[in-house]
A and B are shown apart, each in its own frame.
Chain A
Amino acid sequence: MPVVDIDPDELRELTGHEEKGDEDLKSDLFGLGLEFEGETEDGLLQFEFGPDRLDRLSVEGVARSLRYQYGDDRGVRVPDTNDADYTFVVDEDVPDERPYVTGAIIRGVDLDEAGLDSLIQLQEKLHATMGRKRAKGAIGIHDLTMIKGEVLSEESGGNSITYTGIDPEGDTFVPLDSDREMTPAAVLEEHPTGETYADLIADYDRYPAIYDELGLFSFPPVINGRRTEVSTDSRELLVELTGTDQWTIDRMCNIICYALSARGATIEDVEIEYADRTLVRPDFEVDTKSVTHDRIETMLGVEFETAEVIDLFERSGLDAVVADDADASDEAADAETVYEVSIPPYRTDVLHPLDLVDDVGRAYGFDELEPRYPDIGTVGGRHERSRLEAATRNALTGLGFEDLLNFHMSSEDETYDRMNVEPGADYLGGGDPVEITEPYSEDYTILRQWALPSLVMVLENNTHRAYPQDLAEVGLVAERDDDVNTRVRERRHVAGVLARHDATYEDAKARLQAICGDFDVDLETPPTEHPSFIDGRAASVVIDGDAVGVVGELHPSVLVEHDLELPVAAFEFDLSALASA
């Protein structure tokens, strides 16, 4: 979940509530869903929150939410923007993989150290979340005074910069945190930031690049040039975002613009000139969605008056009007009432009218809702498979077995090699394994194809515990099988081991007989060969005529392999054999 670092003094200043102590702020923020996590080394307070309200990734955004909560602000606020002076020209050479760009010009900026830190933090957090680690959207912020726009036309004036694509070795610039000229290709290999983000564009034929009249000054999504580096002295900024989706980078841009506007800066439009269209950005268009009064009341289980609902919307930073000709103060608000709700352009999470219902609930306070048990009659019951498992477990524990619960993930080493089993063999345990594509531990590389190896491992790990150790498990096993819809044949097996100084085949078979007796199925045990068991002391478990498992005395080599110093009799078979036909 996202974490935002907040300087409490900044928060007090930006909300205009100097009287609030740190504890008050923590409690107020908890009400908004921001949970206090701790303090940074620099004394900033860290808050964790759900990844829906990404507009709260900065102290400015958190302050805005708090002002709505306090009732200091109401409704939708959209910053004024000045007309465009700059044009971002999108060149036809721009990489196909990253065709979109957006941005804004910011004037009258006055950032102190804290303000600059907050801006950089917001940029990084947006990269990590909406930007999908810069793959989907990357932000570059530049000192505008260091940029020399190309003059667009003699009459109208106006400046332009160009977003294009260049050969990896096609140009050079001095990147941030460096003092030498490098090609983009060299940045990816030699610059620490370049190495971090190299994977994002490694497959591109042409690398993204932004030019002004003086040359290359930004290499998105990797790094800016040093020439346009932002400092506390910067008074005018150029913000550019590139990415794989226009909507995403536009919203990221809006969140940045709102944060800077909250610090008193003026936003100036830019024109984005694509080959086939021209966009004016930032896109501060207010979206609207319609919600019915009925849906709000039904979802929250509370009756409201129209004016109350409108008030709750405004306290959420939204605006609402009753869509019909009905009067907002009309007490006869009924199910038919429809609200037209305006949504500010920094919100990224409102996909559907029900997201607005959630806002009403939060503003009303979900704590205020009285829980009620729904008056709905249904009949409960267990799944047949689950009842069969429970009955089998019951029979096993009645016979004195300790019921175990092992992981379904295991390794070839455990399920084949250490049990003497050959992959692909036609005896129990020889089936094709279901392999995990990218295992992170050599202990968990496959789904186990049989259960006995797990029980033998438990014996191995408990040689210091009292004997006899009679262990059993009813659990999942799986084999690769392309005839199954999910390509994985999942079964439940019943496995048992009897580790005791005088354990014999007979001990295992006696228990097998008892279980089969309980479930009224016929058991036969014709001799078989299985490399995990001693020759001549292993039998196939045939239940109602079907060979479904194996029973016998474990082979001494298997015992020694698992550091066991006493005989073990064992069995394993398919649980479904016990089910009534």
Chain B
Amino acid sequence: MKLPEPQVAVLNAASATDETPIERLADEAGLKPETATQAVFELRDDGLLDVTERETVEYELTAEGREYIDAGLPEVRLYRAAIEAGADDDPVQMGRTIGAADLDGPEVDIALANFGRKGYGSIESGELSADGDADAEDDPEAAALAALAAVDDEDDSDAALADVDDDDVLDQLVSRNLLERHERTVRTATLTDAGVTALMEGVEATEAVDRLTPEMLTSGEWQDVEFTEYNVEADAPEVRGGKTHVLRQTAERVKDVLVGMGFQEMDGPHADADFWINDCLFMPQDHPARTHWDRFALDVPPIADIPEDLVDRVEHAHREGVGEDGDGYHSPWSEDFARAIALRGHTTSLSMRYLSGTEVGELEPPQRYFSVEKVYRNDTLDATHLLEFFQIEGWVMAENLSVRDLMGTFVEFYEQFGITDVQFKPHYNPYTEPSFELFGRHPTTGELIEIGNSGMFRDEVLEPLGVEHDVMAWGLALERLAMLTTGAEDIRDLHGTLADLEFLRDAEVTY
């Protein structure tokens, strides 16, 4: 018969006649106790061993208990000193007797308390009387301690307990903290008849191997081997896979949601004419946001082509307004200014290009479009502001859209990111009317934060573009959403060449 190495060792150590505790089997077999225990049970399951379980109580002397074995219990010492001083005849002064008994510290209280309890005498007004008939020299507690100490070395507490069969005395010693009581299950094993037979027929250890090899699989050798056990709880060496940038993951998630809501993605230039970035948006040319402080103008010639009729219509909207009752801005407007190239400050330039029909042809309602792309703002670079960041931009074109449709769309969108209870604060943008700032509660902190800007494009925007239907639009910074979902506190850890690789490697995935 072939058995795993530990089982062979245990089987050889076991006896058919004596119940051997597992600890002793482990010792004799040279195995770790847990390995021996496992082998014993496996052998029992195979019918080679019988296992008996018994609940046992064991007592162990505490350090204090051990001390009193030689020195004597404090109350006994006090009694001896009292008898010596003649306290069995007349009361003696307590302090002196304590001194004579060589008691100090906590021993004094222990001695006095037990002296009275055991009926060795009484204490009154600082004087001590002793009962001459008390049998202090034959104190059962002292005797029990001595008996336990005597057998301690023999490791046979059963015998000792036979001598000390008075449970009250043992309880007392435990409560005095002189003994510790241990209750445990002792398992013993004996060879069954089958076990004896197996041993007589000869038992061999199976081979233990580290690795499963291709040869073992082809030869069938795997059937006769035993695999060495691993410490499966130990940490493995660090392995890192590549990971999509955490901000890209958030962008992908946003794109998924928007595509699911029926939005098509837009694409277009990062460097563009102010015409597409601002003029189409009915931003007056003297608007403070169009000064050189806020934008990144590029040192290149003006844009080569923009549709001339569109330029005329946009200029007319700025100067005269649109519609019978429309008024224009009382601001200067020049085509040269509109043709200058800058980095886009928002991706609404893409919306203008698409709505104008120059990108994918004239659009008939209904339409939904979006982009999640970089924009450039000349802001202060700090923990929450970057010179470049991603803007989520979206718009819906349909007949007869209302503010309620706009609200319903955003409620649906933000709900996908765990932001419920979106609030709409009336706002002003030159290009939308009505306009709303969107606020939502942070899912964990409950703080009210701005999560977007939205509105219905004005007639002065749509009419020059040739759009005859309603268009509602909104935008928000992707980083704001990402900081909410990743818990990043410094946006520079995420984005740019100051990125901390450890932060990126440890970032939780977004899904």
Enumerate chain A interface residues (CB-CB to B < 8 A): 33, 50-53, 132, 135-136, 245, 247-248, 289-290, 298-302, 349-355, 357-358, 361-362, 366-367, 369-374, 376-383, 385-386, 390, 393-394, 396-409, 434-438, 440-441, 444, 447, 454, 457-458, 461-462, 465-466, 469-472, 476, 478, 480, 482, 485-488, 490
Contact = CB atoms under 8 A, between A and B. Distances in A.
28 contacts: A33-B428, A298-B400, A299-B403, A300-B404, A351-B326, A354-B459, A357-B433, A358-B433, A367-B424, A369-B404, A371-B404, A378-B367, A381-B259, A390-B252, A402-B501, A402-B505, A408-B374, A408-B376, A409-B387, A409-B388, A435-B300, A436-B343, A440-B378, A447-B271, A461-B498, A480-B300, A485-B303, A487-B304
A476 B424 CA distance: 35
Contact of B242 (A53, A353, A381, A472): A472
Given A381-B259, A437-B299, A465-B502, 10 more contacts: A301-B405, A349-B428, A373-B409, A380-B264, A383-B267, A405-B496, A461-B498, A487-B304, A487-B341, A490-B269
A334 B368 CA distance: 31
A437 B274 CA distance: 14
Given A301-B403, A404-B245, A132 B286 contact: yes
A438 B263 CA distance: 37
B401 interface: yes
Nearest to A354: B433
A488 B342 CA distance: 10
Contacts of A300: 402-404
A408 B403 contact: no
Contacts of B470: 298
Contacts of B407: 369, 371-372
B325 interface: yes
B248 interface: yes
Interface string B85-117: 000000000000000000000000000000000
Contacts of B327: 350-352
A353 B378 contact: no
Listed residue (A248, A362, A436, A478) with the most chain B CB atoms within 10 angstroms of its CB: A436
B243 A397 contact: yes
Contact of A373 (B255, B374, B412, B500): B412
Nearest to B262: A378
A367 B439 CA distance: 13
A397 B501 CA distance: 15
B368 A378 contact: yes
Nearest to B374: A408
Contact of B259 (A53, A382, A485): A382
A371 B341 contact: no
A385 B265 CA distance: 10
Contacts of A302: 404
Contacts of B398: 374, 376
Contacts of B404: 300-302, 369-372
Interface in B19-39: none
B434 A357 contact: yes
A361 B434 contact: yes
A370 B241 CA distance: 47
Nearest to B388: A407
Contacts of B304: 485-487
Contacts of A394: 244
Given A299-B456, A486-B272, A352 B323 contact: yes
Interface string B171-184: 00000000000000
Given A354-B459, A376-B396, A486-B272, A405 B494 contact: yes
Given A298-B402, A366-B424, A383 B299 contact: no
A397 B271 contact: no
A472 B435 CA distance: 41
Interface in B404-449: 404-405, 407-412, 424-428, 433-436
Contacts of A132: 286, 288
Instruction: List the 5 shortest-distance A-B pairs measured between CB atoms, nearest first.
Output: A301-B402, A50-B428, A371-B407, A397-B242, A301-B404
A122 B368 CA distance: 44
B424 A405 contact: no
Given A301-B403, A371-B408, A403-B244, A462 B428 contact: no
A304 B76 CA distance: 104
Contacts of B299: 434-437
Interface stretch (B133-141, B208-216, B290-298): B290-298
B202 interface: no
B458 interface: yes
Given A358-B433, A358-B434, A362-B426, A352 B322 contact: yes
A372 B244 contact: no
A404 B424 contact: no
B366 A377 contact: yes
Given A361-B403, A373-B408, A438-B292, A386 B255 contact: yes
Given A352-B460, A361-B434, A380-B258, A289 B428 contact: no
A51 B262 CA distance: 34
B247 interface: yes
Contacts of A437: 292, 296-299
Contacts of B125: none
B270 interface: yes
Given A136-B286, A437-B299, A485-B305, A444 B387 contact: yes
A35 B9 CA distance: 83
A527 B248 CA distance: 35
B396 A352 contact: no
B301 interface: yes
Contacts of B271: 434, 447, 478, 486-488, 490
Contact of A434 (B263, B298, B323, B329): B298
B54 interface: no
A353 B296 contact: no
A298 to B, nearest CB: 5
Given A381-B265, A444-B387, A403 B496 contact: no
Contacts of B409: 373-374
Nearest to B299: A435
B297 A248 contact: no
Contact of A380 (B244, B368, B402, B495): B368
A404 B497 CA distance: 9
B501 A465 contact: yes
Interface string B467-511: 000100000000000000000000000111111111011000000
A326 to B, nearest CB: 19
A404 B288 CA distance: 35
